[in-house]
């Protein structure tokens, strides 16, 4: 049995389906995603490049608006307000992390929920919790798609998430609860973390801590989803000691090639859904 959950493969399949849907748009304008970047964060440069390449492959117009690190909060707010009104723009994302003088909450609140391709606005996140959204934060959405693709049972499953961020842990917990899973949300400071994780059917690590998950966290029936995106000594790695747990667990996502490509694929899907909502 192949233990690896190949997110790169499945994302390409989803992207091909999306490309076909976009090709069927006749005569009308193509969907457009605008990415706002502030400063020159090394990892953000890499992620944005991947997002723009993916846009091009499926036929979404990808636009980057890059601003100096020292730009004022009010100027960014004004730019977003302009994009909210721009009829040619369907999706807006502000790449995180932001410089420390920028108030992330105010920035997120400024994006129109109707153009919120990341699904980070309070309205869209609230609708996710209430199970009535059609826009999901891209990383949690990609994780659910991977689990469902591999036919991993979620109903009544004991799922442990390490990480309580607004963009992964919190929305993912709600999405899994809506699928009738039993969800435990931990963080790196949780007491007895290893013991709690060891009983899980599905362990999802989104802590941003390299080498956190060792063989002491896992069991032989477990599926591991590694959301970590860490750079250690210039090398990109997840939160899980992959080589140590690989032989033990049932399924595991690699880093790179697991959750990352799925996040991009779901971002594109969100952009297309926002476009379709607007055009129809």
* Shortest separation between residue 127's beta carbon and ligand GUN, angstroms: 18
Nearer to ligand GUN, 93 or 252 (CB): 93
Structure tokens at 45: 């440069």
Distance CA(69)–CA(1), nearest Å, equals 48
Q: With the C-alpha atoms ordered 273, 97, 126, 173, is the resulting torsion angle positive or negative?
A: positive
Select which of 32, 37, 90, 95 is catalytic.
Answer: 95
* 73 belongs to the catalytic site: no
* 277 belongs to the catalytic site: no
Distance CA(62)–CA(89), nearest Å, equals 10
The SS3 of residue 163 is coil
* Shortest separation between residue 133's beta carbon and ligand GUN, angstroms: 16
Select which of 118, 201, 226, 239 is catalytic.
Answer: 118
Distance CA(133)–CA(119), nearest Å, equals 9
* 118 belongs to the catalytic site: yes
* Shortest separation between residue 85's beta carbon and ligand GUN, angstroms: 21
Q: What are phi and psi of 38, to 5 degrees?
A: -115, 120
Distance CA(86)–CA(111), nearest Å, equals 12
CB atoms within 10 A of CB 154: 19
Closest residue by beta carbon to ligand GUN: 96
Nearer to ligand GUN, 200 or 274 (CB): 274
Nearer to ligand GUN, 77 or 248 (CB): 77
Binding site for ligand GUN (CB under 6 A): 93-96, 118, 138-139, 167, 263
* Shortest separation between residue 169's beta carbon and ligand GUN, angstroms: 13
Distance CA(55)–CA(63), nearest Å, equals 9
Nearer to ligand GUN, 25 or 96 (CB): 96
Q: Which residues are catalytic?
A: 51, 95, 118
């Amino acid at each position: 049995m192949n233990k690896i959950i190949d997110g790169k493969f499945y994302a390409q399949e989803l992207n091909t389906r999306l490309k076909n849907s976009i090709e069927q748009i006749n005569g009308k304008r193509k969907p457009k995603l605008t990415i706002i970047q502030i400063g020159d964060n090394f990892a953000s440069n890499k992620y944005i490049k991947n997002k723009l390449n993916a846009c091009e492959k499926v036929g979404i117009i990808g636009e980057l608006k890059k601003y100096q690190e020292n730009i004022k909060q009010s100027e960014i707010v004004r730019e977003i307000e302009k994009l909210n009104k721009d009829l040619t723009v369907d999706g807006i994302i502000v790449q995180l992390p932001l410089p420390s003088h920028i108030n992330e909450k105010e920035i997120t609140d400024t994006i129109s929920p109707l153009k919120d391709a990341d699904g980070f606005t309070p309205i869209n996140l609230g609708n996710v919790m209430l199970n009535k959204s059609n826009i999901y934060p891209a990383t949690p959405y990609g994780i659910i798609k991977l689990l469902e693709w591999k036919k991993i049972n979620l109903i009544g499953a004991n799922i442990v998430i390490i990480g309580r961020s607004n963009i992964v842990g919190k929305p993912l917990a709600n999405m899994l609860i809506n699928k009738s899973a039993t969800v435990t949300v931990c963080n790196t400071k949780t007491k007895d973390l290893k013991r709690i994780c060891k009983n899980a059917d599905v362990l999802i690590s989104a802590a941003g801590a390299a080498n956190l998950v060792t063989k002491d966290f896992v069991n032989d029936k477990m599926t591991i989803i590694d959301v970590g995106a860490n750079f250690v000594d210039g090398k990109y790695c997840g939160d899980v000691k992959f080589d140590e747990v690989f032989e033990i667990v049932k399924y595991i996502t690699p880093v790179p090639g697991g959750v990352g490509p799925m996040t991009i694929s779901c971002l594109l899907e969100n952009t297309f859904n926002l476009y379709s909502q607007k055009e129809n």
